[in-house]
A and B are shown apart, each in its own frame.
Chain A
Amino acid sequence: MAKWMSVAQVKEKIEENSAEEVTAQYLEVIGKSKINGYITVSEKALEQAKKIDAEGHNGPLAGVPIAIKDNISVVGLPNSCGSKILEGYIPPFNAHVIEKLLAAGAVILGKTNMDEFAMGSSTETSYFGPTANPWDRERVPGGSSGGSAAVVAAGEAPFALGSDTGGSVRCPAAFCGVVGLKPTYGSVSRYGVVAYANSLEQVGPLANNVTDIAVLMDVIAGYDHKDSTSIDSKIEYQKALVEDVKGLKIGVPKEFFGEGIHPDVEKAVWNAIHKCEDLGASWEEVSMPHIKYALASYYIIAMSEASSNLARFDGTRYGYRASGENWHAMVSKTRAEGFGTEVKRRILLGTYALSAGYHDKYYLKALKVRTLVKQDFDRALSKVDVLMAPTMPNPAFKIGEKIEDPLTLYLSDVNTCPINLAGVPSLSVPCGFTDGLPIGLQIMGKPFDEPAVLRAAYTFEQNTDYHTKRPSEVA
């Protein structure tokens, strides 16, 4: 069996052999993994595949294996969020997206590694140790959905689910040379996804090609009455896979090519834009003057929401519990021992930003900036169909290189987090290499205009071969 298969190829294999055999082969590859991409491998995967074989292959993903980020609830599998504090917690309910996947016949291979509570851009803050980038195991896979991106890149799953709060799907997609989509806010239910920053995040797919992103979106997107922020967009994602960009207007925001960008990244992205031009699209420069404030606004909002979201982890009802002479002592000790450094830092900063006397100065100001950033996107996207820019200003860095310097690490989200402030869709697709490391092209669109984004990405992909390259080291 070829190690890297599209969903269509996996489905062919299943018809030729069986879902059980395909799942077994993926489990075998996972067993030999050198990247620490999974936190938990499901012991029920084979059983599930057998059942699908027995029932006949019904559903659009019948028997197709998938990897799930470890902050998305699956009944019976631990949901660690990459943290010690959720030790022993096994969710009694499925996330809405999991219900949809199971109904479509997907087989859950396991839960993938991530930065603790999705707080990071390198998967190094995980309690379960860092995941290695399959292209260079000394480098990070990006984050926070680093496990999901890495296992797809390494052929340990045909595709995966991640979550994107400030770039957590697109960053690892770019670093690992796979495709990743952050859907429009509200497209995919957040029910059962452990919140880091509710107003910013969406579940998003990671795959080897644009087609599989659309296949997965057709399964997981849609209205969910259990999520009040959910919207029924009625988008048919696979219908958007049209190889044609004639007449497509591309905006190039110069603010995304700022100081410190790697020259090879800049070159690769411009090559991609020119490629689209060759294929019939047109491009123009657009200005988004408030993007420079987006990073600060993003971190204040995300940390503020996080400080509240993570208050429930107090050792009282589930997860890790330290001992203490009374409840308050127990809670303090549980949180001191259960959370890692980065999570504590963000809880403290978020608590500070929301405190009386600072609330207006930081949190309220960040909300105002958010509105301005949204307006920048509205204005830019009123003139063009999509925006194109680098996903990450640099390729994957070395494990340990930035972890002691949180500010530098935060800066790596500079091109991804504005998208979450605006709530618009954004996709990262491979567009080149530098020193053997993948580079990602970021394609952004209007709210609920995933079709335009997918069409641009699909056409670019069909006319280039970056997505066919595999990491030699693990091949």
Chain B
Amino acid sequence: MVYENPDGVRIGLEIHIQLNKLKTKMFCGCSTDYHNAAPNTHTCPVCLGLPGALPVLNKKVVEAAIKVGLALEGEIAEETQFHRKNYFYPDLPKGYQITQYDFPIVSNGKIVIEGEDGEHTVGITRAHMEEDPGKLVHIGSIEKSKGVLIDYNRSGVTLIETVTEPDMRSPKEARRFLDKFRNILEYLDVFDGNLEGAMRVDANVSVHWGTRVEVKNISSHKGVERALLYEIMRQKNVIRRGGKVSQETRHFDEGRGVTLSMRTKEEAEDYRYFREPDLMPMRITDWIPAIKETLPELPDAKRARFIEQYGITDMHAKSLTSKIMLADFYEGVCAKGVDPKIAATWTADVFLGELNYRDLAISSYDGEKIGFIHAKDPRIKNSIKVSDMVELVNLFAEGKISDRAAVEVIRTMLDTAEEKTPFQIIEEKGLFKAEDDLVTKAVAETIAENEAAVQDYLGGTEKSLNFLVGQVMKKTKGTADAKTARDLIIKELKG
């Protein structure tokens, strides 16, 4: 099957990600752990741009950028070079941003995604390092703001700006690209996508191979699909009415789900780039072999290994490797000698499904337990131990609990903060599968107590059998296996 791309859609992305796993900022020693801190408490003369303060490049930033470049199978520049991008904005304390211009650290990379018609390669034009500006906080709404407060805690945090080729052919491919990109970054342990402002996306989109429009300010990667769907529809409508799509920059209004015109090409800014004289080029070619050694197994390789090593399905392998922490958790469970196929079902299908249903995102794994946090309310968090999952899978595999009971256990573990093992939960809730004699006893009682229903069934009314099974289930408080109960009743009545 070949994807026809009926609307001639071409999408390219510009993605800013914060290297928020680095402990310090790009050019100073300020901590990047500011998300719960009071404004302007994680600042110093350098990231406030005080007169006379000078930037010093954090080597960890360069190492992380090289890691990203290698993971994207790109070319790494021989040396680091920085430029100044000059513009005035209140969140920009120096009146310029230190960024890379004609010598980005990474060029010509790629990411393979699952496209509309199977594997699809998206080219990475370049990826470069730059500093994040501060953050503006409007008093009241943006439109009717009484004033603006500036928080420079974010100022100087490392950003990697990645620019793709216009290789995506649908909003779905764009979202898949972002999912994959984010996944790779998390594997590299340079990025935590759960933190606010960690990923910001601008998209270039055109239809019928025509003029491209830039859509800015897409803050969530779920927003990308919405913004692109809207923008493609808008451009198609313009053309259908005989108009021409004009080259412009549009702003995505997340609340209303629409894009609005910001500026046309004629108003394009002149950033007056020039080499940053405060930073000397740093030769990095020699660093690459050692950094290559530290590269972890990446998602595609891990997925292939899971299929091979654990004998699980491609679907399960894909799902389990969609998050490094989930993959590690799964391997932690398998290492305890449980059946990897059963563990895959309960981890990839049930556990992950219940997390998604609750809007919980995996946020940590420490070898003993996997933590998760509410996507919108970080106060809601919980965790599940490897040993708990092992116990649950084993109980199920040994036939001691029904699959309904197992689901119930997982839900209970997600919804309560109490540290209870699956065994304790099962005991408390009486979820063990009923013993056979218990079921036999319940069947005998049911037959004795429901003369009329028994006669109806024997007279040919099948429905009555269901009623009798229901009575057995009731007596055993749901612990009986329904099929066993049914078989026993038939055997009792019809021999």
Contact = CB atoms under 8 A, between A and B. Distances in A.
Interface string B282-313: 00000000000000000000000000000000
A93 B53 contact: yes
A356 interface: yes
Nearest to A94: B52
A313 B88 CA distance: 10
A311 B280 contact: no
B338 interface: no
Interface string B236-279: 00000000000000000000000000000000001011100111
A314 B51 contact: no
Contacts of A79: 51-52
A89 interface: yes
A310 B52 CA distance: 11
Contacts of B274: 304-305, 308, 354, 359, 363
A228 B278 contact: yes
Interface stretch (A193-201, A243-251, A289-297, A387-395): A193-201
B280 A228 contact: yes
Given A308-B272, A311-B96, A89 B51 contact: yes
30 contacts: A79-B51, A79-B52, A89-B51, A91-B51, A92-B50, A93-B45, A93-B50, A93-B53, A95-B52, A191-B54, A199-B277, A226-B54, A227-B278, A228-B54, A229-B277, A304-B274, A305-B277, A307-B86, A308-B95, A308-B272, A311-B94, A311-B95, A311-B96, A312-B51, A314-B90, A316-B93, A327-B90, A359-B272, A359-B274, A363-B274
Given A229-B278, A305-B277, A91 B52 contact: yes
B84 interface: yes
Contacts of A304: 274
A81 B50 CA distance: 13
Given A198-B278, A312-B51, 11 more contacts: A73-B52, A91-B45, A91-B51, A93-B50, A226-B56, A228-B54, A311-B94, A314-B95, A317-B48, A317-B93, A318-B50
A314 B96 CA distance: 12
Contact of A354 (B49, B54, B86): B86
B187 to A, nearest CB: 31
A228 B57 contact: yes
Contacts of A86: 51
A190 interface: yes
B279 to A, nearest CB: 5
Contacts of A316: 90, 93, 150
Contacts of A312: 49, 51, 93-95
Contacts of A327: 90, 148
Given A198-B278, A304-B274, A192 B52 contact: yes
Nearest to B56: A228
Contacts of B90: 314, 316, 327
Nearest to A353: B272
Interface of A: 71-73, 79, 81, 86, 89, 91-93, 95, 190-195, 197-199, 225-229, 304-305, 307-308, 310-314, 316-318, 327-328, 331, 351, 354-356, 359, 363
A339 to B, nearest CB: 13
Contacts of A355: 270, 272
Contacts of A191: 52-54
A205 B302 CA distance: 62
Contacts of B86: 307-308, 311, 354
B55 interface: yes
Nearest to B276: A198
Interface string B21-61: 00000000000000000000000010011111111110000
B54 to A, nearest CB: 5
Contacts, number: 101
Contact of B51 (A73, A199, A229, A354): A73
Contact of B96 (A225, A308, A313): A308
Contacts of B50: 91-93, 318
B239 to A, nearest CB: 31
A158 B427 CA distance: 88
A225 B59 CA distance: 13
Nearest to B268: A356
Contacts of A192: 52-53
Given A311-B95, A312-B93, A316-B150, A92 B45 contact: yes
In this complex, the member of B45, B94, B95, B279 whose beta carbon has the largest number of chain A beta carbons within 10 angstroms is: B95
A96 to B, nearest CB: 9
A72 B52 CA distance: 8
Contacts of B148: 327
A194 B53 CA distance: 8
A191 B280 CA distance: 15
A73 B274 CA distance: 26
Contacts of B95: 308, 310-312, 314
A312 B96 CA distance: 8
A356 to B, nearest CB: 5
Contacts of A226: 54, 56
B285 to A, nearest CB: 19
A407 to B, nearest CB: 24
Nearest to A304: B274
Given A95-B52, A192-B52, A195-B52, A356 B278 contact: no
A310 B88 CA distance: 11
A351 B86 CA distance: 10
Contacts of A363: 274
A95 B88 CA distance: 26
A91 B51 CA distance: 8
Nearest to B57: A228
A364 to B, nearest CB: 9
A228 B278 CA distance: 7
Contact of A81 (B51, B53, B56, B270): B51
Interface string B76-102: 000000001010101001111000000
A441 to B, nearest CB: 30
Contacts of B273: 354
A86 B84 CA distance: 23
A433 to B, nearest CB: 37
A428 to B, nearest CB: 25
Given A198-B278, A311-B86, A190 B96 contact: no
Contacts of B55: 228
A122 to B, nearest CB: 23
Contacts of B150: 316
Contacts of A193: 52
A331 B45 contact: no
B411 to A, nearest CB: 51
A86 B52 CA distance: 13
In this complex, the member of A81, A86, A199, A316 whose beta carbon has the largest number of chain B beta carbons within 10 angstroms is: A316
Contacts of B277: 197-199, 229, 305
B129 to A, nearest CB: 15
A211 B84 CA distance: 40
